[in-house]
Amino acid sequence: MIAAPPNGLAINVTSITGANVAAQVLVQNVAPPGNVNLTGITVDGSRAEVSGCSVSAFLAGIFYASGASGTINEMTTRNQQLPSCGYGIWIENGAGPNQSITVENNSVHDVTWEGIFAISNQTPSTLAATIKGNFVNGKVYNQTKDIEVNGVSGALTGNVVTGGLQGIINDGGLVTISGNTVADISIGVAIAFGDGSTVTSNKISNVYTAFLLGGSGVSPGPTATGNTTKNTTYVVMYNCIPNVTVKSNTFNDSEFGFDHVPTANSGLGVNSIYNIDTVQTSTCP
């Protein structure tokens, strides 16, 4: 187990976001070029001290810096719990060659801000991320996001995500979100930006909002098919954004079905719905 040193963690990397990060395991400037694989190690952030945390610095259990590639498999990252600045796994790639990173089968829990975070600031994206089979639990510290991708391409599949505020978030990029189980959370799957992304065959239960689907409004926007939701307050929030396709899903047990559906090009197809108090709510201009 890799634990935090008793005299605190120093800032050792600056993210492409500009954030200063104290990483417990840092992968960067790999020479000669090649993959770095991490398997079967626990990274524990208990009693970590990072000066400026939540103001000018962040704590990360594992950090793959720009230019790094490889696989993070069967790791445990836990207790990155400094107030509002703890990340379990952070991977990124900025300018330069495309990189590919796989984050799979990990146990990520008790972090204060994000469980798994993947980001690229390039268009088109230079980071292909595969995030699969992970178990992320944000219940204890109510972290903001369990899994967030921003500007990356790739797939998020077969993860089990429970607790916290937001489950799986795509803030930009073309990704596939499929076969995940998301429960006990405020927002299940959100696509803030990510035209063309697909959300398929996920199971969402006991959440406030199952899907928050947006995009730029162009066609094709995000597409949600074959998903099942149960015990939600809202099934899909559209925010009046057109060209969001929602079809062939099964929704059971919700107070509201579809919220703020756009009046034109809604993309709302045929779904199987059961036990929905109000099918559509809140109109758009």
Which residues make up the interface to another protein (CB under 8 A)?
1, 39-42, 74-76, 78, 105-107, 109, 133, 135, 137, 139, 160, 162-163, 181, 183-184, 203, 205-206, 228, 230-231, 250, 252-253, 257, 272-280
Q: Are 271 and 247 in contact (CB under 8 A)?
A: yes
Q: Are 143 and 165 in contact (CB under 8 A)?
A: yes
Contacts of 150 (CB under 8 A, 6+ apart): 117, 118, 119, 120, 170, 171, 172, 173
Q: Which is nearer to another protein, 1 or 31 (CB)?
A: 1
Q: Which is nearer to another protein, 95 or 274 (CB)?
A: 274
Q: Are 201 and 229 in contact (CB under 8 A)?
A: no
Min CB(125)–another protein separation in Å: 29
User: In terms of Cα–Cα distance, which of 254, 191, 252, 263 is closest to 223?
Assistant: 191
Min CB(208)–another protein separation in Å: 13
Q: Which is nearer to another protein, 49 or 184 (CB)?
A: 184
Q: Which is nearer to another protein, 18 or 40 (CB)?
A: 40
d(CA 10, CA 22): 6
> Could you give the C-alpha distances from 100 to 50, 63, 195, 244, 272, in angstroms and in order?
29, 14, 21, 29, 38
Q: Are 85 and 57 in contact (CB under 8 A)?
A: yes
Q: Which is nearer to another protein, 56 or 275 (CB)?
A: 275
Min CB(158)–another protein separation in Å: 9
Q: Which two tokens stand for residue 239?
A: 């925010």
Min CB(196)–another protein separation in Å: 28
Min CB(117)–another protein separation in Å: 19
Contacts of 232 (CB under 8 A, 6+ apart): 188, 204, 205, 206, 207, 208, 209, 210, 251, 253, 254, 255
Q: Which is nearer to another protein, 181 or 239 (CB)?
A: 181
Q: Which is nearer to another protein, 19 or 273 (CB)?
A: 273
Min CB(75)–another protein separation in Å: 8
Contacts of 18 (CB under 8 A, 6+ apart): none
Min CB(197)–another protein separation in Å: 23
Q: Which two tokens stand for residue 159?
A: 């993860």
